[in-house]
Amino acid sequence: MLRTSASRVLDDSDRDEALALLDSDPVANVFVASRVRTVGLNQARLGGQMWGFGPRGGLVSLCYAGANLVPVNAGPEAVHAFADRARKQGRRCSSIVGPADAVSLLWERLEPHWGRARAIRWAQPVMAISQKSPVPADPLVRRVRPEEFDIVLPACVAMFTEEVGVSPNLGDGGALYRTRVSELIRIGRSYARIEDGRVVFKAEIGAVTPFACQVQGVWVDPELRGQGFAVSGMAAVVEAALACFAPVVSLYVNDFNTPARTVYRKVGFHEVDTFMSVLF
């Protein structure tokens, strides 16, 4: 039987130690690292708590507990400690996501208390690329302009609904989701090919650190799929991301999404890890 030590809630005094741990695997940890770099570990700014496992000066593992529950570098003892805290706190997240081994064990501990998940994505290959794609980039893919928000938003909603299985407009009527879409456009991390007011292809750079960035929201108009827009569009996004944001571009994809995995391989992505997601 493993001895389970308690986790603790971190604060800004733990920021440097937390970042050192996060940066030890910059691709796997890009989402959490980008949050910490942007807002620190203060709960109000972070939009949740950061749990730590290990004493001050000897931090071993982390778990971001906000809209998502995300374990970081979490072995069995750390997972057990995080599960114990999550069980006592009650479910506040919309998903658990992260390295498959840690998420699988975390969910095994939490399922008896949290109940059935809406969906489980057992294997999501994490893919990365660190050089310009060998395929030609679509010259018509560019940054979305703020005045194009109303053109791009329906494509974003369609992508989210198709990928996650529920509409982002549920609950608050989509206010939070619209704010996020608008913010990505404002900071220059939303890319699309738009023709005559129609989104042909789109993708966003959702998380950025000095070491890696993560592409999300890849979508092609269903009527135009199979015509190569995803391959050339992603090549353009990779080129822009490498030039503007980070030396490594990453993403993760469902293992059953064969067309998407084929696209990413053609672009030059290779598999570096496996994630798992539990959706509520």
| Amino acid identity for residue 157 in this structure | V
273 — phi, psi (to 5°)?
-165, 175
Low-confidence ranges of the chain (pLDDT < 70): 1-4
Q: Is the pTM of this model over 0.75?
A: yes
Query: CA torsion 105→1→58→72, rounded to 10°?
Result: 0
The C-alpha atoms of residue 235 and residue 274 are separated, in whole angstroms, by 22
User: Rounded to a whole number, what is the largest CA-CA distance in the chain?
Assistant: 63
Identify the CATH number of the domain defined by range 129-274: 3.40.630.30
Say how many CA atoms lie within 13 Å of 131 toward its Cβ: 4
Segments making up each domain of the chain, as ranges: 8-116, 129-274
Q: Report CA 56 to chain centroid distance, whole Å.
A: 28
Q: What is the pLDDT of residue 136?
A: 98
Domain 8-116: top CATH class: alpha beta
Q: pLDDT tens digit string along 213-228?
A: 999 999 999 999 999 9
pLDDT of residue 2: 41
Question: Residue 227: its pLDDT value, please?
Answer: 96
Same fold, 8-116 and 129-274: yes
